[in-house]
Amino acid sequence: MVEQARLAVVSGGGTGIGAAVARGLVADGFDVLVVGRRGDLLRATARRLSDEVGRDDAVTAVVADLTDPVQLGAVRDAVGERTVDAVVNNAGGYLGGAADTLTATAAWWRANLDANVLTAVLLTEALLPALRRPGGRVVLLSSIAAQRGGGGPYSAAKAALHGWAYDLAAQLGPDQITVNVVSPGYVAETEFFGDRMTPEGHAKRVAATLVGRAGVPDDIAAAVRYLVGPSAGYVTGQVLGVNGGSVLGR
Ligand SMILES: NC(=O)c1ccc[n+]([C@@H]2O[C@H](COP(=O)([O-])OP(=O)(O)OC[C@H]3O[C@@H](n4cnc5c(N)ncnc54)[C@H](OP(=O)(O)O)[C@@H]3O)[C@@H](O)[C@H]2O)c1
């Protein structure tokens, strides 16, 4: 009997860090479902990563807005009867907004909480019944902003993931499922900053590191691959900073 590859679901896998995680997990022998809202972009990434390894179905695109509970059905359908070995909750980002009225403040905060917390909660909850027991893995992508501020509602939303991760790790520990947070510092070569980044902003962030460079998506993917891998079964409920030393020891 041919053994089926392990299955990972990576949200936001069409771009940046998520695409690097998907590529890395394919290299580690996983089939990967990448989830995001922009179908064309997602399908192009899935095709490119599958072509790279010469395996048609190595990466499959699933189009869903993970803030909408109804759209989680598409992810469940794509998983079908398979066991999910790893859920990598990478979708998210900083959403700009105004705080000049309470109505605007509420909209700005809700948008950031939806994009960064609800996306992870809904995807993880949707896939919990399918997670491998024992041995499943849940990873949450936070941010250095959760540990040192600087992003208003984005910082608060990412920090919320930490508290939830601790509860989820306690809930799933008896099933030998680990839950961990990866907290990136400044990572270039993604869509995260859009047109917000300036040469001065880049230089300031690089200068804040101890290693004198910006992070790249593969730096973060390496941490995710470790946590998802078989040697990390005794690591759970942890926050792993991958930030070039910009924030120390927490
Ligand atoms: N780059 C950095 O410096 C940095 C630093 C710290 C933390 N992070 C975190 O790392 C993660 C990845 O960011 P990145 O830098 O790779 O930026 P990115 O290229 O903008 O990736 C974000 C991904 O999330 C997807 N996404 C956003 N909202 C979604 C939703 N509602 N439903 C489904 N998918 C959604 C986006 O795809 P669609 O738009 O097609 O849905 C996109 O592929 C994010 O959580 C970010 O907050 C990044």
Mean pLDDT per 10-residue run, the chain (250 residues)? 86 98 98 98 98 97 98 98 98 96 98 98 98 98 98 98 98 98 97 94 97 98 98 98 96
Q: Is the CB of 11 under 6 A from ligand 1?
A: yes
- E strand spans, 22-132: 30-36, 59-63, 86-89
pLDDT of residue 4: 81
CA 31/CA 45 separation, integer angstroms? 14
10, 17, 40, best to mutate for ligand 1 pocket (most atoms within 8 Å of CB): 17
The closest residue, in CA terms, to atom 43 on ligand 1 is: 12
pLDDT of residue 93: 98
What is the distance in A from the centroid of ligand 1 to the CA of 92? 4
The structure's pTM equals 0.98
pLDDT of residue 166: 98
Quick one: which atom of ligand 1 is closest to the CA of 93?
Answer: 47
pLDDT of residue 2: 64
- The two structure tokens encoding residue 3: 């053994």
- The two structure tokens encoding residue 179: 């839950």
Q: Dmax over Cα atoms in the chain, in whole Å? A: 63
pLDDT of residue 3: 74
pLDDT of residue 206: 98
Quick one: which atom of ligand 1 is closest to the CA of 65?
Answer: 32
pLDDT of residue 250: 81
Q: Is the CB of 141 under 6 A from ligand 1?
A: yes
Distance, first Cα to last Cα, the chain: 46
181, 186, 187, best to mutate for ligand 1 pocket (most atoms within 8 Å of CB): 187
The closest residue, in CA terms, to atom 11 on ligand 1 is: 90
pLDDT of residue 76: 98
Is 154 annotated in the active site? yes
**What does each C-alpha distance from 171 to 35, 222, 231, 236 come to in angstroms?**
25, 26, 21, 11
Fold topology of 6-242: Rossmann fold (3.40.50)
The closest residue, in CA terms, to atom 29 on ligand 1 is: 91
pLDDT of residue 82: 98
Q: Is the CB of 120 under 6 A from ligand 1?
A: no
The structural domains of the chain, with segments of one domain joined by +, span 6-242
pLDDT of residue 59: 98
Sequence-distant (≥ 6) Cβ neighbours of residue 235 within 8 angstroms: 178, 180, 227
pLDDT of residue 174: 98
